[in-house]
């Protein structure tokens, strides 16, 4: 039987075997926090008393979704006498008492079902506890309240992902058309799923989730998954709306979150509230914005003349006619983005140099007049349009979401979601976040405490 402590990586080159990873997850503060958000079933109350403390089921989800990648393997790991004895010893230090024998697979599966009503509370707790982790390692802690050119550590990247269903698309279709019956006469259950078209036109059958994350630096294992939210088909505005709400929520928790990066699924309806919340949004404008659009005639310039202002792919431009009679659109130089605090929110301005030499200020968040004319300001005027160095430097940070999604696929058995029910899927993703973040936490403690994670805890 292993003693309680020796599995902590002593240095960075320690390899993250499943056992090492599982032992770190078992002692991760986020695991305890998320488990504590589930009320224990009272022994004298209605329903059967819980067979095991709630942390057992959350740990099961974290192992299955973030370490070993399957429910069977996770149950097997927990059931092994030496692992169970180790958990019993470690969790006793936190005042959690375990029975002498570990749960069987069916008990764990039923536990996952029993905690379904508490998944929203678990998700909220995950947001709290992961923000604490992020701030502990240096994400969203410094900088001005608003920042025109945010650092990586003050930036959140988000994207939707659709883990493929446990069964293949063809099997799903067959069972849908011709329900096969089990020996007891009941039909095989079908996983919760919808068809989604991913980037590149690739069709995936599954449930969609939005993941939010931030990263301290280019250094390995400095990523924190901050939020996991489902995107039910009924959500107006879909994935982008869910992401917007999640980012706003995070911004309300910390003003040190300065910017958000999202793919082309972000429309003005998503960007505007974030800009008004004082944030920078970096996201590619739609194809339609490539065609020059007349913004307005500037009649009150201090030079005494007038200027026609245009927008092209998010940039504020002026028209220039060349010697040969061609029309060019030139982005106004010396761009500077600033925020002014309003009563309830922020106003965002662009200052840029006109051809006459005077500076011009243009609002970048929507105005009351825009509402009347239905002008989608945040679609046509971007804080950092694609031609700017800021966009070119920072949009690439979005690739972190792709690594996280491919990491999730790689861990999950057969690269497929391992549970069918959509709420259980969210539980597995919450578990995945806990398990991935445990690597970040341990790595940080090892790097910064100069010793083992357990010694630093």
Stretch touching Zn ion by CB under 5 A, among 143-151, 214-222, 354-362, 364-372: 354-362
Which residue is it, tokens 């398990």?
435
| Residue range at the interface with Zn ion (CB under 5 A); choices 221-229, 247-255, 347-355, 401-409 | 347-355
Task: Answer for the pair 112, 419: CB distance below 8 angstroms, yes or no.
Answer: yes
Going by the DSSP 8-state scheme, the letter that residue 69 receives in this structure is -
Say how far apart CA 34 and CA 25 lie, in whole Å. Answer: 12
Contact region for Zn ion (CB under 5 A) — 38-46, 97-105, 209-217, 295-303? 295-303
Which residue lies nearer to Zn ion by CB, 136 or 356?
Answer: 356
Residues 177-236 touching Zn ion, rule: CB under 5 A, are none
Give the residue with the Cβ less far from Zn ion, 85 or 356: 356
* Shortest distance in whole angstroms from residue 318 CB to Zn ion: 10
Segment near Zn ion (CB under 5 A); pick from 29-37, 104-112, 134-142, 348-356: 348-356
Nearer to Zn ion, 300 or 368 (CB): 300
CA distance 113 to 208: 20
Tell me the closest approach of the beta carbon of residue 306 to Zn ion, in angstroms: 8
Q: Considering the complex, what minimum distance in angstroms separates the CB of residue 333 from Zn ion?
A: 14
How many Å is the Cα radius of gyration of the chain? 26
Burial class (CB in 10 A: 0-12, 13-18, 19+), 200: exposed
Minimum CB separation of residue 354 from Zn ion in Å reads: 5
- 143 vs 155, 177, 238, CA distance in Å? 12, 57, 32
In what order do the strands lie in the sheet containing 259-261? 223-230, 209-215, 155-161, 259-261, 280-282
Taking the complex as a whole, the smallest distance from the CB of residue 193 to Zn ion amounts, in Å, to: 58
Dihedral of CA atoms 130, 132, 136, 142 in degrees, nearest 10, equals 110
Residue 356 is a binding residue for Zn ion (CB under 5 A): yes
Pick from 176, 301, 341, 369 the residue near Zn ion by CB under 5 A: 301
Sequence-distant (≥ 6) Cβ neighbours of residue 395 within 8 angstroms: 261, 282, 284, 386
Smallest gap from Cβ 310 to Zn ion, in A, equals 15
**Main-chain phi, psi angles of 257, to 5 degrees:** -85, 115
- Nearest Cα to Cα of residue 158 among 402, 440, 407: 402
CB of 329 to Zn ion, least distance (A): 17
Least distance to Zn ion, CB of residue 305, Å? 5
Candidate segments 74-82, 151-159, 294-302, 322-330, binder of Zn ion by CB under 5 A = 294-302
Choose one: 172-180, 182-190, 296-304, 377-385; the region binding Zn ion (CB under 5 A). Answer: 296-304
Which one, of 68, 89, 61, lies nearest residue 20 by Cα? 68
**Comparison of 359 and 457: residue with beta carbon closer to Zn ion:** 359
By CB under 5 A, tell whether 353 contacts Zn ion.
no
228, two tokens: 């996991």
Q: Which is nearer to Zn ion, 190 or 298 (CB)?
A: 298
Q: How far is the CB of 292 from Zn ion (least distance, A)?
A: 20
Our CB check for Zn ion shows the closer of 3 and 321 to be: 321
* Interaction mask 302-321, Zn ion, x per CB under 5 A: -x------------------
Please state at what angle helix 71-79 crosses helix 54-66, rounded to 10 degrees.
Answer: 130
CB of 308 to Zn ion, least distance (A): 11
- 359 lies in the site for Zn ion, by CB under 5 A: no
Pairing of strands 259-261, 280-282: parallel
Rounded Cα gap, residues 247 and 245, in angstroms: 6
Q: Residue 74 corresponds to which tokens in the numbers above?
A: 């996770």
Give the footprint of Zn ion on this chain (CB under 5 A): 301, 303, 354, 356, 358
């Amino acid at each position: 039987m292993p003693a309680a402590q020796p599995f902590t990586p002593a240095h960075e080159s320690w390899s993250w075997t499943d056992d090492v990873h599982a032992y770190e997850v078992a002692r991760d503060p986020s695991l305890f926090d998320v488990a504590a958000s589930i009320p224990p079933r009272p022994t004298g109350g209605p329903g059967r008393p819980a067979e095991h403390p709630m942390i057992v089921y959350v740990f099961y989800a974290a192992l299955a979704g973030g370490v070993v990648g399957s429910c069977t393997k996770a149950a097997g790991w927990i059931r092994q006498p030496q692992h169970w004895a180790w958990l019993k010893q470690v969790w006793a230090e936190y005042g959690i008492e375990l029975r002498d024998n570990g749960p069987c697979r069916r008990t764990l599966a039923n536990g996952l079902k029993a905690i379904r009503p508490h998944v929203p509370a678990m998700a909220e707790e995950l947001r709290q506890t992961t923000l604490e982790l992020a701030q502990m390692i240096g994400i969203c802690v410094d900088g001005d309240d608003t920042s025109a050119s945010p650092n990586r550590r003050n930036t959140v990247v988000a994207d939707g992902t659709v883990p493929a269903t446990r069964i293949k698309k063809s099997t799903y279709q067959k069972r849908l058309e011709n329900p096969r019956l089990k020996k007891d006469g009941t039909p095989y259950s079908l996983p919760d799923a919808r068809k989604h078209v991913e980037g590149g036109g690739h069709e995936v059958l599954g449930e969609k989730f939005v993941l939010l994350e931030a990263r301290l630096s280019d250094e390995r294992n400095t990523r924190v998954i901050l939020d996991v939210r489902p995107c039910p088909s009924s959500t107006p505005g879909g994935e982008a709306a869910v992401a917007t709400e999640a980012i706003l929520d995070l911004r309300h928790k910390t003003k040190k979150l300065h910017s958000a990066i999202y793919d082309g699924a972000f429309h003005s309806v998503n960007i505007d509230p974030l800009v008004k919340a004082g944030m920078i949004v970096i996201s590619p404008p739609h194809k339609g914005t490539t065609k020059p659009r007349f913004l307005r005639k500037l009649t009150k310039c201090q030079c005494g003349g007038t200027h026609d202002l245009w927008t092209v792919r998010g940039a504020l431009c002026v028209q220039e006619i060349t010697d040969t009679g061609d029309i060019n659109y030139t982005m106004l130089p010396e761009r500077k983005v600033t925020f002014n605090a309003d009563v309830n929110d922020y106003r965002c301005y662009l200052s840029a140099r006109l051809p006459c030499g005077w500076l011009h200020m243009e609002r970048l968040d929507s105005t009351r007049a825009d509402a009347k004319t239905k002008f989608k300001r945040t679609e046509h005027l971007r804080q950092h349009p694609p031609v700017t160095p800021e966009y070119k430097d920072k949009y690439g940070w979005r690739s972190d979401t792709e690594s996280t999604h491919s990491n999730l696929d790689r861990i999950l058995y057969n690269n497929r979601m391992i549970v069918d029910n959509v709420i259980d899927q969210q539980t597995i993703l919450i578990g995945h976040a806990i398990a991935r973040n445990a690597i970040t936490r341990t790595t940080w403690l090892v790097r910064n405490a100069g010793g083992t994670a357990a010694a630093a805890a």
